């Protein structure tokens, strides 16, 4: 029997390991020169003026909302088709996440629903680039600007990606990235926020380390002083130099990683093209898809098998898979706290009940992809009506 193919394995090589070892040998482990270098190179990569390295994308979202002045009682428009972090950061401020249904083709937030969900309390919106495909940012920005709203992009899936030739990271007011272990580049745990606003970047930097005055990390170096000032009650969100060194090494291979993902996504698309039982997520022409995830939806009317059993059968065939995501309105907290019900967002609910995420990562081989295609095809042919 073939070995089990995990849903994800990070693409770590000897260069990455040596980069981290170099920091370990340097004697400086926490936030320092490597973190600053990572910020500078990442900002240059995405075309932003400023970048602040943090210990998660959740931290990036939190501090971006803090920087725009989100307050108790405010509302933020958030897609229901997303991970917990996108909306939970809104609740940190005792503000309300107002959920929005998704488009049936891309599964990104439906721009047509934004204006009808607004109230006088609406302060911002958070578009999520689902699976790595950018949202229709022209429409999102137009709506936001007409209503005086701030745009904080959740780009946890979307590096490297672009929309109409403009890199994700250089479009919204703030853009938040993830370097979690499963992401296209990784620091193990980590995140980044990019912006063109110098005051916002400075605020995020201060708030990421207890609200200490600028460059407080230098106080233990020959460039710094023991003296510091607390300018606001901040948080502990800084990224270590160990993580940043890994990020720098990964960043320099990001284009190669992406090209491999794109090639494997094309193999999947071709492998399932003749199967009406499988509906892939549509890809728009005006974007560069980051291909963080490859998501298919099963046409249950054409199959004699449920989604849960389909996943179990794939596991039995030694293929790891997952589901992205359980929409927020289906979770007990959002139902109990905000009164959402399963029928409130029919497009997201319908998609969720049929979604399966297949393995897609640069550490895979083409043989792994073909093996996954074969396993999926075998199940479809066995259980089609």
Q: Which residues are catalytic?
A: 183
Query: CB neighbours of 368 closer than 8 A, spacing ≥ 6?
Result: 5, 359
Q: What's the order of all strands across the beta sheet hosting 166-167?
A: 166-167, 162-163, 287-288
Q: Quick check: 329 and 101 in contact, CB under 8 A?
A: no
Q: Quick check: 307 and 299 in contact, CB under 8 A?
A: no
Give the tokens for residue 170.
């250089």
CA distances from 84 to 87, 126, 186, 202 (A): 6, 13, 20, 27
My answer on whether omega of the bond before 215 falls inside 30° of 0, hence cis, is no
Residue spans of alpha helices (H) in the chain:
14-26, 33-46, 57-67, 84-91, 114-117, 137-146, 198-207, 241-251, 254-272, 307-316, 332-338, 346-352, 366-383
Q: Quick check: 169 and 175 in contact, CB under 8 A?
A: yes
CA pair distance 349, 19, nearest whole angstrom = 44
SS3 362: coil
């Amino acid at each position: 029997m073939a070995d089990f193919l995990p849903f994800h394995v990070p693409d770590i090589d000897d260069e990455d390991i040596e980069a981290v070892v170099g920091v370990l040998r340097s004697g400086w482990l926490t936030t320092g020169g490597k973190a600053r270098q990572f910020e500078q190179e990442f900002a240059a990569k995405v075309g932003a003026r400023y970048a602040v390295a943090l210990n998660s994308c959740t931290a990036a979202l939190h501090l971006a909302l803090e920087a725009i002045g989100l307050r108790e009682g405010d509302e933020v428009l958030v897609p229901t088709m997303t991970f917990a972090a996108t909306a939970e950061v809104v609740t940190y401020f005792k503000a309300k996440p107002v959920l929005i249904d998704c488009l049936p083709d891309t599964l990104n937030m439906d721009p047509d629903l934004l204006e009808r969900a607004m109230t006088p309390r609406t302060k911002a919106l958070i578009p999520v680039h689902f699976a790595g495909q950018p949202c229709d940012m022209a429409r999102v920005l137009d709506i936001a600007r007409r209503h005086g709203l701030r745009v904080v992009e959740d780009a946890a899936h979307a590096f490297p990606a672009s929309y109409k030739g403009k890199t994700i990271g250089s479009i919204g007011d703030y853009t938040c990235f993830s370097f979690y272990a499963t992401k296209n580049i990784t620091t193990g745990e980590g995140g980044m926020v990019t912006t063109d606003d110098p005051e916002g970047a400075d605020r995020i930097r201060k708030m990421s380390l207890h609200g200490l005055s600028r460059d407080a990390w230098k106080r233990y170096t020959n460039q710094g002083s023991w003296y510091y000032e607390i300018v606001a009650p901040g948080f502990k969100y800084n990224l270590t130099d160990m993580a940043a060194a890994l990020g720098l090494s990964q960043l320099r291979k990001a284009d190669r990683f992406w090209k491999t993902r794109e090639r494997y996504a094309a193999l999947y698309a071709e492998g399932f093209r003749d199967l009406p039982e499988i509906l892939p997520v549509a890809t728009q022409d005006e974007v560069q898809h980051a291909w963080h995830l490859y998501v298919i939806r099963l046409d249950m009317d054409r199959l004699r098998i449920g989604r849960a059993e389909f996943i179990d059968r794939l596991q039995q065939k030694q293929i790891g898979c997952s589901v992205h995501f359980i929409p927020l309105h289906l979770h007990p907290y959002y139902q109990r706290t905000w009164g959402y019900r399963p029928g409130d967002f029919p497009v997201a609910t319908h998609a969720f009940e049929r979604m399966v995420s297949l393995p897609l990562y640069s550490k895979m081989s083409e043989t792994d992809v073909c093996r996954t295609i074969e396993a999926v095809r075998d199940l479809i042919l066995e259980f089609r009506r």
